Structure 1
Amino acid sequence: MFFAHKYSYLVPPSRSLRRRIHKRFKSASKPVLNEAQFQRAVSQLPPRFIAEELCNVITLQVDPLVCLELFKWASQQPRFKHDVSTYHVIIKKLGTAKMYQEMDEVVNQALSVPLIGSEALYNTMIYFFTEDRKLTKAVNVYKHMKNSKNLDCRPSIRTYNLLFSAFLSRGSNSYINHVYMETIRCLFKQMVNDGVEPDIFSLNFMIKGYVLSLHVNDALRIFHQMGVVYKCLPNSYSYDYLIHGLCAQGRTKNAMNLCNEMKGKGFVPSKKSYNSLVNSLALAGEVDEAVNLLWEMTQNQRSADFITYQTVLDEISRQQRYGNAVKLLKELREKELVDSHTYRKLLHKLEGSLRD
């Protein structure tokens, strides 16, 4: 019995105990209202203040707790009613302070009032819910906008772009991206059907989403519809997403064609695009083209990563051109494109591949 008691501290706490400890710690660390600051804020309001005056006072407050207390206090005053401006300012204050639980309560209150609402207010709710990674709540606000009888409260292009961005940021692998991409595709279709014109951001979100979910042909379809169906010309991001996606599928020739088209329009490929292309060319055995592109990217102030250098050097060596690989590596060092540590590491790998 003594033995069990002596070593009982080695047993990890249960999940319920951990939750209670966390709850107590959170409660103990909760900020306390600055009563003096709150009273000063109240004193700035006239006896029969209106929503605009309350909004102005809340806007000037730095402490979000004081803002929330002002909002609650005003709710209890006779003949006073909150409007869009007061709901908007308090949600911004709480969201910026990451007081999401308190913000959620205010949002629920605002959504329950039939005549309170605006596109800007709802977009702010969606933005902070996505910041808190509460996608379900963000979608619920979107549905509230969709069902609103007030046409000024209907989803805008900003509403959709906020949701597209949030869903795309959730994917950590191609399967998860595939699941979320189906939701994004439905949202995009709904947006177009409702007469909301896609902009460059929404179209690039679609391209990026299809690339991440390994549906590159669908991404190309959207790309070719830009400027024709949607009257919105591709920008450098449109090309970059596609180049990376095509290279990932080994479609190097298509990627190079897009890269040349991109450069012909005055865009400079991103670091990611260049690295993808150089790697793809080297892996396809086209080392001379890979080296030429490597020099081009350095001239355009785009740095190659370690994997790219290693892939090019390994492929040159594999083609029985070990001397050329060493010469290229020395040239990279002389031009200070690789530091001494990276140089030694790449040289060691080259020598290792020669022994193998």
Structure 2
Amino acid sequence: MEHSSTTTLVKALINNSTNPKLAFQLFKRTISSPLSNNLKTNINNVVITQCVPHLTNILLKANMLQELNSLHQFLLPFVPHHSCNVLYDVVRKLALFGHPKYAFLQFKSIRTRFPHKPPLVYLYNVLIKACIEHDCVDYVSLLYKDMVFSGVIPEVYTFNLLIKELCDEGRLEDARQLFDKMPEKGCFPNEFSCGILVRGYCRWGVGYKGLELLDVIREMGIFPNIVMYNTLIATFCKEGNTEEAERLVERMRVEGLAPNVVTFNSRISALCKAGKILEATRIFRDMQIDEVLGLPKPNVITFNLMLQGFCKEGMLEEANTLIESMKKEGLFMNVDSHNIWLSGLLGNGKLLEAKIILDEMEVNGVEPNIYSYNIFIDGLCKNGMLSDARKLMGLMVSSGICPDSVTYSTLLNGYCRKGKVNEAHNVLQEMTKCGCFPNSYTCNTLLHSLWKEGRFSEAEKLLQKMNERGYILDTVSCNIVVDGLCKSGKVDKAIEIVNEMWTHGKAALGNLENSFVGLVDNGNSGKKCLPDLITYTTIINALCKDGKLDEAKMKFMEMIGKHVYPDSLIYDTFLYNLCKRGKMSSAFQVLKDMEKKGCKKTLQTYNSLIIGFRAKNQMFEMNGLLAEMKDDGISPNACTYNNMISCLCEGGKTEEATSLLDDMLQKGIMPNLQSFKLLIKAFCRIGEFTPAQEVFDISLSIFGHKEALYSLMFNELLARGEAMEAKKIFEAALDRCLYLGGFLYKDLFHNLCREENAESAVNILKKMLSIGYEFDPAAFMPVIDALGKGGHKHEADELSERMLEMASEGKVANKVFFNNKQFVNGSKNKDSTSDWKSIIHRDDGSTLALRTLKRTQKGWGQGNVSSLQMQR
């Protein structure tokens, strides 16, 4: 009777396997029916072994974990001692299906019910492995303790799992102790045990301990295999210890292990990541002539590693040669190689070449994948070509590839970098509508942009939505809010949030406004969101900017008390603000503490000290710091030299300042606009206009025709009474349609008219009007007066009429208007549609700059103002 009822129930379950809810209800109803009282009180092995496994499989496939838990609670009181293995089997299946938490809870209740009936070691191994793989490591130690307490003897595999987990957590000493105790437990380590420990040592940067382990295991009768050697070789290469890596390769050969292609790929990969591309190239070339050296021939992975290395270092010619070689050998046929090449081209600004490669992929039968499109969209966004990125996303969809969170996040980040927060918010909404849910990084990017733009209420609303939709508000989110508050002048509120973070974690954001009450979360997850070094650096920097150095110091002491240890950046923040205020003795006390804490001096450290000495005109001390930088291997930058040049110029030592600029050029340090502006002003101040003109010419050849350079030279000449020379500069600026906001052009008209040169002033006015400038009508007055006094009444009336017309229209701005609205201030509208062909001719000016720098090293340049005139 029992057997037929059970068979009927099993068939019913199988027939309803596609409807798990019905199957579960049928099982409960059958078990609970009055006709089955005998079964309820006397559940036999047939029911347990046949019905429960079937129902378990049905519920697992439907992911009905709560129902499985209900089944467990229902059966537990009725299962006899000798049949509990079926319940253990449910635990095993839960673990294998990736639900270690549910598996452990059921396992725990079974062990409580049947303390003297432990499972086999196999189940412990399955549970331990599942807990490790799904980040439930807290259960691992409990399972091992239960195993020892129950007298279940662990296997080598069990120890291997435990050692791996300890290594993953960085508990290398505990892992080694467990490894050493294995023989005491009757388990002798095997090759896998040794390999796990070696890999753990290498992962945490103590490869030398892994090397020592090789000698230990050899005494145990275990000979190192090629995997262990490859792991150690890759580690030593990555650390830059190529000599040790070479010794290991030779040691492999002595022990009869032939280095394989993995060995060499490990070496090449590590060298390329460390930027040692020449050493990697040497190994690669040796592999290519394997007939002579007996080395393994490079495979497609080797070629891809080299290609990635060349692209990373910007060696595109070498990369292109390598690709041609790959094509000859038929290796440039997979999508991974194309993606590496795409990434390299885009990373080096070669957008047009990258577009050609993307077009050729489909022609050559290589289907671009989502990674290919994401690489390209990222390159376009970084170059500000957002409309093209949008078009490419459309092409991607039409090709049957749906954008993922990376695609949307990249586009959103691009809009945020451009300050287009509304468009970024639209991308976020579109992303959600398409069923592609944003991650914390996406939301944090938009959150940062909103705070940066000062749109605080919108930032608060976004935080609410992030919390409501379950996005993790992490330390990064809190740091964005703290930074935003500091930049908006609400430092006290930012400090309050930081204080609350230590007690309430992310719930501290609930203290922003009443609208943030929904963010308050007393869960344990919130307490993990603690202030870090970035948090304190932001607060301390804000306090220093406000001049609250004592409060900043208190926060610094609090930080150390909370075991958040300082770095060079936070010390540099103190140094800069102290030096800026001339508190050099305090600055040197900070410097002493910085060295005591083991933080190395940086370029910013030296620049801050030089700023402090510049304010006191202590050139000798500044030169001493420059020499010290050289000894420390720190190269000065333009800021370093500019502060020293400024000090010399203020002291009238223009020759020494010039020599310092020459020193910059000879060392290959690119000057900036400020470098030249300092010298131009210094020369003009002492009336040496010829060298000032030469510096001006050189600066134009390097930086192009910048309004800042023209306006500076014009204003300096005008201030020194050189009106005619200033006039030439101004006319050159007009020819290039430069913005006139920085030009004292009204003073030019006054000076020309005072020198009875009203005709020149009239010509300049007419030129400005013909080009399309709109300027202050008051500029007409001295010219009209001069024409009237000179008897040129007709021209004076014409200018008066034009002046009144401009004044009535309210046109007093300094702008350039063209009929073509794409152009404003003489430049192309940034929002206009991009042109792929224009990318070919785009030049970042580096070639011209280097060419000019070489010329300036030979002398102070050639030519005069006449060379500035536009070629027609």
TM-score in terms of structure 2 length: 0.26
C-alpha contact (below 8 Å) 2:374/2:407 kept by paired residues = yes
- The 2-side partners of 1:334 and 1:58 are apart by 49
C-alpha contact (below 8 Å) 1:157/1:197 kept by paired residues = yes
- The 1-side partners of 2:302 and 2:614 are apart by 66
Q: Give the match for residue 158 of structure 1.
A: 406
Structure 1 residues 227 and 58: CA distance shift in structure 2, 3 A: same
Is 1:125 the equivalent of 2:376? yes
Cα deviation per residue 1:281-332 (whole Å; 9 max; x = unaligned)?
46668665433102234552234355545658999x9xxxxxxx99976764
Match of 1:137 among 378, 388, 393: 388
Q: Give the match for residue 241 of structure 1.
A: 480
C-alpha contact (below 8 Å) 1:58/1:90 kept by paired residues = no
Is 1:225 the equivalent of 2:483? no
Cα deviation per residue 1:112-171 (whole Å; 9 max; x = unaligned)?
9999554233223323444565444332221223445x3xx1110011122233444xx4
Match of 1:214 among 446, 454, 465: 454
- The 1-side partners of 2:615 and 2:529 are apart by 35
- The 2-side partners of 1:290 and 1:202 are apart by 32
Q: Which amino acid aligns with 1:67?
A: I
Structure 1 residues 250 and 110: CA distance shift in structure 2, 3 A: same
C-alpha contact (below 8 Å) 2:377/2:389 kept by paired residues = yes
- The 2-side partners of 1:131 and 1:334 are apart by 41
Cα drift, residue 66 of structure 1 = 5.2
SS of the residue aligned with 1:226?
Answer: helix
Q: Give the match for residue 343 of structure 2.
A: 95
- The 1-side partners of 2:322 and 2:371 are apart by 24
Structure 1 residues 326 and 120: CA distance shift in structure 2, 3 A: closer
Match of 1:295 among 553, 557, 579: 557
Q: Which amino acid aligns with 1:251?
A: K
Match of 2:443 among 173, 181, 203: 203
After superposition, residues 297-312 of structure 1 pair within 5 angstroms as 297=559, 300-303=564-567, 304-306=570-572, 308=574
Match of 1:193 among 413, 433, 436: 433
- The 2-side partners of 1:56 and 1:312 are apart by 53
Match of 2:540 among 278, 291, 296: 278
- The 2-side partners of 1:310 and 1:117 are apart by 50
Is 1:335 the equivalent of 2:600? no
Q: Give the match for residue 107 of structure 1.
A: 358
- The 1-side partners of 2:405 and 2:379 are apart by 17
Match of 1:67 among 301, 313, 323: 323
Structure 1 residues 347 and 197: CA distance shift in structure 2, 3 A: same
Cα drift, residue 184 of structure 1 = 1.4
Cα drift, residue 104 of structure 1 = 0.8
Cα drift, residue 91 of structure 1 = 4.2
- The 1-side partners of 2:592 and 2:323 are apart by 60
Q: Give the match for residue 495 of structure 2.
A: 256
Q: Which amino acid aligns with 1:95?
A: S
Cα drift, residue 344 of structure 1 = 9.7
Cα drift, residue 191 of structure 1 = 0.5
SS of the residue aligned with 1:335?
Answer: helix
Cα drift, residue 240 of structure 1 = 1.3
Q: Give the match for residue 13 of structure 1.
A: none
**How many matched pairs?**
270
- The 2-side partners of 1:283 and 1:294 are apart by 15
SS of the residue aligned with 2:438?
Answer: coil
- The 1-side partners of 2:441 and 2:585 are apart by 44
C-alpha contact (below 8 Å) 1:256/1:277 kept by paired residues = yes
After superposition, residues 43-58 of structure 1 pair within 5 angstroms as none
C-alpha contact (below 8 Å) 1:91/1:107 kept by paired residues = no
Q: Give the match for residue 181 of structure 1.
A: 421
Cα drift, residue 346 of structure 1 = 6.2
- The 2-side partners of 1:267 and 1:285 are apart by 29
C-alpha contact (below 8 Å) 1:290/1:312 kept by paired residues = no
Query: Please, what is the CA RMSD of the aligned residues?
Result: 4.6
- The 1-side partners of 2:398 and 2:439 are apart by 23
TM-score in terms of structure 1 length: 0.58
- Higher RCO (CA-CA < 8 Å; seq separation 6+): 1
- The 2-side partners of 1:192 and 1:86 are apart by 33
Cα drift, residue 244 of structure 1 = 0.9
- The 1-side partners of 2:304 and 2:546 are apart by 60
Structure 1 residues 68 and 161: CA distance shift in structure 2, 3 A: farther
Cα drift, residue 105 of structure 1 = 1.2
- The 1-side partners of 2:501 and 2:337 are apart by 43
- The 2-side partners of 1:68 and 1:87 are apart by 16
Cα drift, residue 349 of structure 1 = 7.6
Cα drift, residue 206 of structure 1 = 1.1
Structure 1 residues 210 and 156: CA distance shift in structure 2, 3 A: same
SS of the residue aligned with 2:454?
Answer: coil
Structure 1 residues 105 and 285: CA distance shift in structure 2, 3 A: closer
Structure 1 residues 165 and 112: CA distance shift in structure 2, 3 A: farther
- Give the greater-gyration-radius structure (CA): 2
Unaligned residue ranges in structure 2 (runs of 5+): 1-284, 289-299, 308-318, 504-526, 617-872
Cα drift, residue 234 of structure 1 = 1.5
- The 2-side partners of 1:61 and 1:347 are apart by 48
Cα deviation per residue 1:170-189 (whole Å; 9 max; x = unaligned)?
x4xxxx52xx2222111111
Cα deviation per residue 1:58-97 (whole Å; 9 max; x = unaligned)?
85884434536876999xxxxxxx9xx7456324324325
Structure 1 residues 305 and 165: CA distance shift in structure 2, 3 A: farther
Structure 1 residues 135 and 65: CA distance shift in structure 2, 3 A: farther
Q: Which amino acid aligns with 1:335?
A: D
- The 2-side partners of 1:60 and 1:307 are apart by 40
After superposition, residues 16-35 of structure 1 pair within 5 angstroms as none
Cα drift, residue 205 of structure 1 = 0.9
Q: Which amino acid aligns with 2:354?
A: M
Moved more, 104-113 or 182-191: 104-113
- The 1-side partners of 2:358 and 2:344 are apart by 14
- The 1-side partners of 2:449 and 2:325 are apart by 42
Q: Which amino acid aligns with 1:215?
A: R
Structure 1 residues 268 and 345: CA distance shift in structure 2, 3 A: farther
Structure 1 residues 111 and 252: CA distance shift in structure 2, 3 A: farther
Q: Which amino acid aligns with 1:211?
A: W
C-alpha contact (below 8 Å) 1:226/1:232 kept by paired residues = yes
Unaligned residue ranges in structure 1 (runs of 5+): 1-36, 41-54, 75-81, 318-324, 351-356
